[in-house]
């Protein structure tokens, strides 16, 4: 199922259960991951929702509340406290009811992406288990932080979604059948591999670059590449790519008279305001202030 269809399936599922956006920007999706934050009214009568093609994980931002769920016909009753999480594996028949209004942060992850992580890290099959509810502070904090990032209005690069999906997937392996903390072995980038990655990023700096693009340039799997790149460079591929774009922006601002919006769009920033936020966070000055200081 393509990413557009998967995102539509998520929206339909939320709508059937009476969800509405918690903030002005409450939902975003990539080919592997969707992130959202929604309000739900009390649901006194059981509502049957569509099957989802993605793994679903939620974190309660309200509570406590009592829920009743039917997953593949099996009824579950639980009390969910604020900060607790719930998991429903992809493809499940599901019906729900709960006793009070609530707000939740959600992620939806492609099953084949999780399976790729498990395979790459030597963890066997990734058979995610339904869990209602449970506590995993690291997982919950990561999901809430992602939802907050989406809500901030800052444009999110495809590489950000890929990195987030990889981090979430590794954590979710703990909640698979026979799950364990799979760490994977050491991975290293040779000088030649690193030069190929740098060349690709330099050539396509203004385009949407995903984790698979960088990993392919290095001749590695996505998850080997994450470990190897951070070991070699000291930061994640996402932070490195953003910093590389800021450095290129500094060059263009200093050497040309191109309008700031042209500099922003040429380097893949969604808008001038997004560019300004990122630039100031890295440089400590707005693009206009920095250009004046070096002119």
How far are the Cα atoms of 122, 146, 183, 245, 261 from residue 265, in angstroms, in the given order?
41, 24, 38, 11, 6
Pick the CATH number of 191-234 from 3.40.1350, 1.10.3470, 3.40.720, 1.10.10: 1.10.10
CA distance from start to end of the chain: 51
* Parallel/antiparallel/unpaired status of strands 33-40 and 43-49: unpaired
- Determine the pLDDT at residue 232: 84
What is the Cα–Cα distance from 118 to 124, expressed in whole angstroms?
Answer: 6
Class of domain 240-294: mainly alpha
- Determine the pLDDT at residue 23: 85
- Determine the pLDDT at residue 1: 43
- Determine the pLDDT at residue 110: 93
- Determine the pLDDT at residue 208: 85
- Determine the pLDDT at residue 2: 47
The superfamily CATH assigns to domain 3-175 is Regulatory protein AraC (2.60.120.280)
Same CATH fold, 191-234 and 3-175? no
The domain limits of the chain are 3-175, 191-234, 240-294
Smallest CA-to-CA distance from 264 within 293, 287, 240 is with: 287
Report mean pLDDT in 10-residue bins for the chain, 295 residues.
Answer: 70 95 88 93 96 96 93 94 96 96 96 86 77 92 89 72 88 76 65 90 89 91 85 86 92 93 89 88 92 89
């Amino acid at each position: 199922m393509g990413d557009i269809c998967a995102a539509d399936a998520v929206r339909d599922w939320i709508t059937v259960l009476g969800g509405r956006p918690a903030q002005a920007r409450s939902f975003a999706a990539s080919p592997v991951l969707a992130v959202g934050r929604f309000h739900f009214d009390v649901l006194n009568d059981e509502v049957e929702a569509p099957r989802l093609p993605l793994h679903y994980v939620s974190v309660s931002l309200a509570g406590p509340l009592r829920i009743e769920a039917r997953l593949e016909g099996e009824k579950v009753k639980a009390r969910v406290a604020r900060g607790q999480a719930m998991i429903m594996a992809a493809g499940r028949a599901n019906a729900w009811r709960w006793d009070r209004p609530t707000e939740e942060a959600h992620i939806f992850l492609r099953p084949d992406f999780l399976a790729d992580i498990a395979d790459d890290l030597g963890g066997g099959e990734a058979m995610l288990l339904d869990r209602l509810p449970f506590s995993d502070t690291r997982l919950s904090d990561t999901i809430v932080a992602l939802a907050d990032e989406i809500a901030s209005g800052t444009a999110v690069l495809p590489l950000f979604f890929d990195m987030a999906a990889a981090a979430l997937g590794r954590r979710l392996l703990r909640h698979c059948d026979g799950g364990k903390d799979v760490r994977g072995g050491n991975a290293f980038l040779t000088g030649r591999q690193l030069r190929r990655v740098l060349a690709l990023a330099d050539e396509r700096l203004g385009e949407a670059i995903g984790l698979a693009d960088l990993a392919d340039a290095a001749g590695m799997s996505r998850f080997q590449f994450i470990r190897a790149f951070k070991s070699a460079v000291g930061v994640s591929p996402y932070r490195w790519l953003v910093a590389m774009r800021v450095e290129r922006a500094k060059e263009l601002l200093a050497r040309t008279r191109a309008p700031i919006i042209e500099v922003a769009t040429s380097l893949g920033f969604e808008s001038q305001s997004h560019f300004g936020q990122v630039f100031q966070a890295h440089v400590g000055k707005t693009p206009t202030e920095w250009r004046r200081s070096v002119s």
